[in-house]
Amino acid sequence: MGSLENRPPLKRDHLFHSSSCSSVRSRFARLLLFNKIDYLQLICAVSVSFFFVFLFQVFFLPGSAANEEEMNYDKAHYLFTNNTDLSFLKELGFGEDLKFQPLKLLDKFRNGAKYFNGSFASTGVILKPKLALVFADMWVDSHQILMVTIATALRETGYEFEVFSLEEGPVYAVWKEVGFRVRVINADENTNFGIDWLNYDGILVNSLKAAGVLSSLMQEPFKHVPVIWTIHEQELALRLSGQTQLVDNWRKLFGRATAVVFPNYILPMAYSACDPGNYFVIPGPPAEACNTVHNGNRNRKNNFVVAVVGSQLLYKGLLLENALVLKALLPLLEKGSNNSRLKILVLIGNSTSKFGTAVETIAQNLNYPNGTVNHIGVDGNTDNVVRDADILIYGSFLEENIFPEILSKAMCLGKPIIVPDLPIIQKYVRDEVNGYLFPKENITVLTQIMFRLFSKGEFADLARNAASIGKFVAKNLMVSESVDGYASLLENILLIPSEKIPVEWKSKWKWRYFEAITNAVSPNRINELLDKVERQFNRTHKENSVDFFITRNDRSLYTIWEEQKHVDFDNVRKRREDDELKDRSDQNRKIWDEVYRNARRVDRSLHERDEGELERTGQPLCIYEPYFGEGTWPFLHRTSLYRGIALSTKSRRPGDDDVDAPSRLPLLNNGYYRDVLGEYGAFFAIANRIDRVHKNAWIGFQSWRATASMKSLSKSGEKSLLDVIESRKHGEALYFWTRLDTDPRYGSGHDFWSFCNHINAGNCQFAFTEALKKMYGLKNNSSSLPQMPSNEGTWSVMHCWVLPTRSFMEFVMFSRMFVDALDSQFYDEHHKIGRCYQSLSKDKNCYSGLLELLVNVWAYHSARRMVYVDPTTGAMQEQHKLSQRRGRMWVQWFQLSTLKSMDEDLAEEFDYDGPTKRWIWPLTGEVFWQGIYEKEKSMRFKEKEKKKQQSREKIQRMKKRARQKALGKYVKPVEEIESNSTAQQV
């Protein structure tokens, strides 16, 4: 949860306190709060704390049996019998040295601030952050009141908000009245909400009841969207005790949040077992009793009740402080005329007998009558204690950073309060106006205040007036701290500077919007919803039991499996290369049996093909949908016109005929380049030996984000597009259906390049210029950009377009060289330190904003027609007509002959020089140039000549080899000669 290091705080450091604890002087505080503690450890620590306090009570309070400790007894006796300065008692441990800081989170903020200040402070780009507010329901609770106030205040500084809820409710009308868009969403059993969370710079999840939303945000590609999770409930902490597996699961969920925000310091301690180091404390609205003003039904029984309360944080001096308060109240009992009516309730610790015994012992030593002082545990019904009290005394001298919750509850209920003059209390309590202050160094002032407020055991008018004013003040406690706290937290997380919030927007909580629905309190269904989330944990655990076993119990097996997978992949790739070389070489004629056998093998594989693949064979067009991660599955189509292409093998949809991009382009196995290229990696993967995967004359792409934003092609749009393709009405045109001027990021007066700058941190033109210089070998002083008209037509965004397949290959040829030039310029800084010129943050998709618009530059300057297709109706409208482009296009730079010549030069360079440097271009597709055929022909000729030479040498060796000479001349026998002559005569 933290450490004991003393570090300089950030600006507004009073807003950055959290569950991390550091102790300067108190050895006991170090023992209690040095390491992360879970719920059981917290109970043990409290017990130890009580033990030390009890020892102090035994040896120091009056009536102690330790007569041998005369010095300590004399000090304590002097303390309780004389009105004197008590500042020396700090040595006894009043908790002043307890400080809370989220050290890990603060370090992360500091690093982010250094990166932001060093990189983009001078860009001058002002973005409007868009945030999503997620609720479990639309019922009145503290989260709704808090977020209505926060959202209305931050909206004045440029923030945009969209509200989501899993259920409808009466607060729906409140958000509409305030002026925010509200959307009710329903999740399926796999927690797929059908929302593109990448549209938001950050997400604010409210309440434990909305924990299911965190499950969807743990899936790619939403894993890195900043999340702030606000929790005001304590029910989960109670059910986690002793549940190790459950704690581990919830820790993963807590770890997904960038920051988990609590309204006080007790909740972070209660959830310490799940703390991944991202806990944060920002005060919330006061007790909900402020909105439902009622005094309750008290049974006074003619008693005058004084409640002595203290900090919820247990520390060594807490019992001593309560003893001092009881000492100060004793004169009231002695001089009062109706002392039998006085009842004092001490609210401290839990309801165990140890605390009760300690309070009883203190009361006996102070000679209180039996039954006058009673102990009430904090784990009991605190609300009833506060409601039944006639006056409330805050008996804790610990300097906290948040106004005590129990005081705000008492003020809301119209109870007079008497409090020590602590800084955070003095900020909201004015002496003798809405409460009464006494110096903690002079406890006798408390006695004087009590005599002023009571006359013969009755309330004085002063007390009633202070309670009435305090009731009004309590409704707007901690508004400024809460609004500034969330503003500063968002500024540090998003690395986007925020403007100063006007004072009028952070002076009051927005109670007035909830006045008409004060009785619409949220039903207590939190345990039911927590059960639902935990069932999801169990289902996920069963589905991934093998992976869980491997990753948790046998890391070596996983490593071996990964190595074997890479070996198999290399073997498959080598086999493919051998087959390609075999196809290029001369083949001998085969006998009919071999031809028939191969044909049967192809026929068998054809029957094994997916039905959708067979349907696509006869279509003129196939539209590919690149995706990465399970979170994108709800947005993908399953018809034969579309085909998914997975940028990661692990994220492929089971049972679908999706293209495995990493197997076609090994570069995508590198996580860095998969993220940097984004959907462009799918373009390169399809284009690499395209004949093997794409058999259609036209090819298209549609981003899953277009489907998520309701901008994908409808049935009418698909039919219209297919009809115009078959008729070839516009020739080799670029058809697109998501247009720039309807993009939410598009602002008024933005032309092409200004929009590109807007989504690329103001560095689009710089990056484009540098890439073109590198690509075309231009001089360093050249700063010209391809002209893109600003007052006519629109442009394509989100990678939703269709091209002829051969035009697509030409576009990929241009894109490969452009991406290579772009990467050579910005790789070092982005890969090593995370600095991305195209983003205001450490964006892993650094080039995505620039590459999103690249197809427009290529299509415009390569003289392609650009036609917009209405995705709903299918109506078409040509943009930037060719007749209007004359004199503006850089055709000589973008024509096929130029690009092909440049591509062949790069291929020749790589073919001869080899990979002597880090070079991305050879990894984005096939390395091909005309000289490869000549090299292969020369190699085959040399191989044939070598074989012929070997044959000639063999013949020569056979001719020249030594032969055995005849040993003598053969002479035919006489009989053989005579038989031969006789045969001739016959």
Q: Model confidence over 243-294: pLDDT tens digits?
A: 888 888 899 999 999 999 999 888 888 898 898 889 999 998 886 555 544 4
Model confidence band, residue 28 (pLDDT cutoffs 50, 70, 90): very low
Q: Which of 635, 636, 671 is nearest to 650 (CA)?
A: 671
Backbone angles phi, psi at 96, to 5 degrees: -70, -20
Number of Cβ within 10 Å of residue 186's Cβ equals 9
Residue 960 to residue 735: CA distance in whole angstroms:
75
Residue 355: CA count within 13 A, CB half-sphere: 21
**Bigger pLDDT: 41 or 961?**
961
pLDDT band at 568 (very low <50, low <70, confident <90, very high): confident
916-942, pLDDT tens digit by residue? Answer: 778 899 999 988 777 766 777 778 888
- Taking the C-alpha atoms of residue 177 and residue 880, their distance in angstroms, rounded to an integer, is 43
**Number of other residues whose CB lies within 10 A of the CB of residue 404:** 22
602 pLDDT exceeds 70? no
pLDDT, one tens digit per residue, over 830-860 is 877 777 877 777 778 888 889 999 999 999 9
* pLDDT at 613 (0 to 100): 67
| pLDDT surpasses 50 at 410 | yes
CB 316 within 8 A of CB 52: yes
Q: Name the CATH superfamily for 105-114+125-285+482-521.
A: Glycogen Phosphorylase B; (3.40.50.2000)
Q: Give the span between the Cα atoms of 307 and 392, in whole angstroms.
A: 5
Contact 836, 830 (CB under 8 A): yes
Give the separation between CA 842 and CA 844, rounded to whole angstroms. Answer: 6
Residue 101 has pLDDT above 50, yes or no: yes
Instruction: Note the pLDDT of residue 802.
Output: 97
Give residue 563's pLDDT.
67
Q: Which of 74-83, 502-511, 586-595 has the lowest mean pLDDT?
A: 74-83
Tell the residue number behind the tokens 């085959």, with chain if given: 940
Taking the C-alpha atoms of residue 667 and residue 647, their distance in angstroms, rounded to an integer, is 11
Q: What is the pLDDT of residue 204?
A: 96
Tokens linked to 207: 């309440």
- 17 pLDDT higher than 80: no
Report the alpha-carbon distance of residue 583 to residue 566 in Å, rounded: 26
Q: Where are the domains of the chain?
A: 105-114+125-285+482-521, 290-295+302-473, 587-601+613-912
Q: Measured between alpha carbons, how far is residue 825 from residues 758, 783, 847, 920 in Å?
A: 21, 16, 12, 12
- So what's the pLDDT on residue 84? 39
**If you average pLDDT over residues 297-312, what whole number do you get?**
73
Residue 279 in contact with residue 489, Cβ under 8 Å? no
Phi then psi for residue 279, to 5 deg, are -75, 150
Q: Which residue has the higher pLDDT, 607 or 672?
A: 672
H-helix segments, 834-881: 848-851, 854-861
Instruction: For residue 458, give the DSSP letter.
Output: E
pLDDT for the residue numbered 310: 86
Alpha-carbon distance of 803 to 608, in angstroms, equals 30
pLDDT beyond 90 at 909: no
Averaged pLDDT of the chain: 78
Determine the 3-state secondary structure of 271 from DSSP.
coil
CA pair distance 966, 760, nearest whole angstrom: 95
Convert the pLDDT of each residue in 224-243 to its tens digit: 899 999 999 888 988 887 78
- Could you tell me how far CA 16 lies from the centroid of its own chain? 20
pLDDT at 570 exceeding the cut of 90: no
pLDDT on residue 76: 39
Q: 229 CB contacts (<8 Å, ≥6 apart)? A: 205, 206, 214, 254, 257, 259, 260, 261
3-state SS, 493-510, equals HHCCCCCCCCHHHHCCCC
Average pLDDT over residues 605-625: 71
Only one residue has tokens 């491997």, namely 550
Render 284-339 in DSSP notation, one character per residue: ----GGGTS--------TT-EEEEEE--SS--TTHHHHHHHHHHHHHHHHHH-TTG
- How far is it between the farthest Cα atoms of the chain? 178
- 290-295+302-473 has which fold? Rossmann fold (3.40.50)
CA distance 476 to 508: 5
Q: Which segment, 54-63, 596-605, 698-707, 883-892, is predicted with the most confidence on average?
A: 698-707
Numbers of helices and strands, H then E, in the chain: 38, 25
Topology agreement, domain 105-114+125-285+482-521 and domain 290-295+302-473: yes
Chain center to CA of 539: 23
Q: What is the pLDDT of residues 184-226, one digit of tens each?
A: 987 665 556 789 999 999 999 999 999 989 988 998 999 989 9
374-388, 531-545, 748-762, range with the lowest pLDDT: 531-545
Instruction: Show the tokens assigned to 634.
Output: 């709800």
User: CA 713: distance to chain centroid?
Assistant: 30
**Helix (H, G, I), strand (E, B), or coil: what is residue 42?**
helix
Which pLDDT band, with edges at 50, 70 and 90, does 302 fall under? low
